[in-house]
Amino acid sequence: MTDQTIACLTIGSSDSSGGAGVQGDIKAFASVGCYAATVLVGVTAQNTTGVVARHGLPLDLVAEQLRCVLTDLPIRGIKVGTAWSADLLRLLGEELAAQAVPIVVDPVLVTAAGAFLSDVDEIRDVLVKSLFPVAAVVTPNRREAELLVGARSEHLDRRGLAEELVALGAPAVVVTADATDNGDWFYDGATHRLLGSDWHTTNCEHGAGCAHSALTTGLLAQGVPLVEAVATAQRLASRGVSAGLAHLGAGVHPVDVLDLPAHRPEGLMPG
């Protein structure tokens, strides 16, 4: 590592299929030239068809991981992913409050396959109170935005959801697209912006949301302005869906942000 290396930290869960979670974040950081450090808060047993089991790690172990990383590595950007419990969110809010680097909060409440990763009723208010104040931007998908807004989300479009989340304390919001949308919706309390893109019908969305928020983190860590960072992250994540690994898995296939070869190059043998 040279003194020019940009180090980023992802705080989240392990995805045993490798497409999302910290595994997906490591790849996304690498794709924009960043070194990845990780703090695991939980482990899932999952594949492209869904989550079979999940287990949160002890809070003292999470705290120790954080302190080890933050006291040793020159972290320039932090992503917070899976929100497992209210106690975890309080811990993260306290530990991250003193960090003077951009923090991207991706409230991973629902997987691409539709599995819930948190007890939303338990953690909604704590997530808002603990992590919104430390965030540079919050990046939920439409369903997660609706869950965070709660009963007020009925009949709201993404513009309205973004406004509600900023009213709750988020400094800026990107409500990411689903199949019914024509791009991500950005709002920073002053300006609304539709970050338009095509929806790709590759069924390779596993890890797309994780990639988007990790890419945003890596770009912000390199000093890219927020609007440019989220727009570039959306473009790169969209390209990863378009070129996704459709031959892997029986469910929602993994996104590919690394342009992995479909086949082993001729002459390259396992060593």
Tokens found for residue 111:
């997987």
What are the Cα distances from residue 163, in Å, to 29, 140, 263?
29, 13, 46
pLDDT given at position 83: 78
pLDDT given at position 121: 76
Sheet hosting strand 50-56, strand order edge to edge? 50-56, 34-47, 6-15, 75-80, 103-105, 137-138, 173-175, 183-187, 192-196
Question: What is 6-242's CATH superfamily?
Answer: Ribokinase (3.40.1190.20)
Most confident range, picked from 54-58, 143-147, 174-178: 54-58
pLDDT given at position 263: 60
pLDDT given at position 118: 61
Q: Which of 28-32, 73-77, 111-115, 221-225 has the lowest mean pLDDT?
A: 111-115
Residue with the larger pLDDT of the pair 177 and 135: 135
pLDDT given at position 1: 44
Question: Measured between alpha carbons, how far is 26 from 31 in angstroms, rounded to an integer?
Answer: 9
Handedness of CA 201, 145, 232, 194 (dihedral sign): positive
Using one digit for the tens of pLDDT, what is the confidence trace for 79-89?
Answer: 999 878 899 99
- Spans of all domains in the chain: 6-242
Tokens found for residue 145:
């935005």
Q: Between helices 21-31 and 208-221, what is the axis angle to 10°? A: 40
